[in-house]
Chains A and B, each alone.
Chain A
């Protein structure tokens, strides 16, 4: 049984509007607006260098945007995220699985997971969440005492996901979960994202360049090209039929 949060679960959503961002004189995002509705899984699709990571980093307070707003509605309370520090945004209930996983390589699997629960609201549920993580990822239980840095790429991605869940987020942002994984592992990782999302009633925004895998679990999707949202597909089927997607992914 996946754990449920204490009390009635209110849904959480994310709304990004008019976001501009760049590095120095290079503009990376141009007036980007998108929404992730309560309980939705939304895919942010695009190939490398189109601004997917920058967009997620703006939401997390890692990159400071030059304009626009990011509103997170968490269990009925509205928060403007821009201007907050990364740690404050995580404390509010927005979790992030970064590109490259960013585990603590010289700490054990268990120590990494327990650090995930540093967030105060996550601490009371720590035993339950740990059990759920080990149930969902039996490999992590087998390797609980192993150093995170010594595990394979697939195991590390599982640990990164599990660690983010230990913080009991309401909204989860995932940056390229498929990067560096063998095709079979990509499919398995994407399946796990869906499983976790359902177990925790999460709202998920997932940046991914593996289009076919991402739309298997996405309710909706946005295609980002050169820092602009060029297409918003309201269903996986709509995305599948889109001309842009064909251009990008099928070389048409």
Chain B
């Protein structure tokens, strides 16, 4: 019995760590899709771009991948601002964002992927850092640093954004912008500017999420596609626009996947995880923390 309990607690812990990583890759979509109603399916491609930036900094200059991602945050923010400006001028301003906007982001996803393939090829790339390899042992529970560090980075990212959104004037305006744009104008805020800033932030998170991804696993250009389904599932499961919901949903999905992988085999993990999503949404259509 002892060993199966150890197996269980290890599965839960690694599920939580995996969930932290899922939160990092989803948080940007929680902003763009959850708060701004922008269906940015290219988000995983920006994450892969973040992975490659971390890889270049690491392979060329020996810089820590997560530190490199922090340094790259402003560049990713500006990239997001530019992408939103194009999206706004070409689609949103004309009220054509529903279908054409989706096509725009789909195109962006493929273009980013193709550029990465042309520049780096399709080989898997990985980074080196002191926390890739060692494992902490707490009792019978293993805490691989390769998973623990990304989880902590994810928690800091989500926590920092939550404080920003709930404590600052700009943050509260971001929470309000999708609800009523005219009302926001009556608060002396320009909704387009607010959305531009928010979208910039959502793409900035891709820098950190990308670094975290390449710490956890080797990366090749098309790997982002594996995460599109999961990312949007977590966002919806948590409740649109709720960071607490995103965190809880990411952890839940991580634990469910990890338990399934441990006791029934890894190939069942996605099926069980998405089955869980469907059941939850049947019971709570607005998601776990949906308002």
Contact = CB atoms under 8 A, between A and B. Distances in A.
B179 A86 contact: no
Contact of A90 (B169, B180, B186, B291): B186
B135 interface: no
Contact of B180 (A96, A102, A120): A102
Given A90-B187, A115-B187, A98 B176 contact: no
Contacts of A163: 187
Contacts of A116: 187
A190 interface: no
B190 interface: yes
Interface stretch (A37-45, A104-112, A213-221): A104-112
A34 interface: no
Interface string A11-36: 00000000000000000000000000
B58 to A, nearest CB: 41
Interface in A48-88: 60, 62, 85-87
Interface in B174-226: 175-176, 179-180, 182-190
B100 interface: no
B185 A85 contact: yes
Q: How large is the interface on B (under 10, 10 to 19, 20 to 34, 35 or more residues)?
A: 10 to 19
B172 A114 contact: yes
A167 B187 contact: yes
B183 A85 contact: no
B169 A118 contact: yes
A175 B245 CA distance: 38
A103 B136 CA distance: 51
B175 to A, nearest CB: 6
A117 B23 CA distance: 32
B241 to A, nearest CB: 8
Interface of B: 169, 172-173, 175-176, 179-180, 182-190, 291
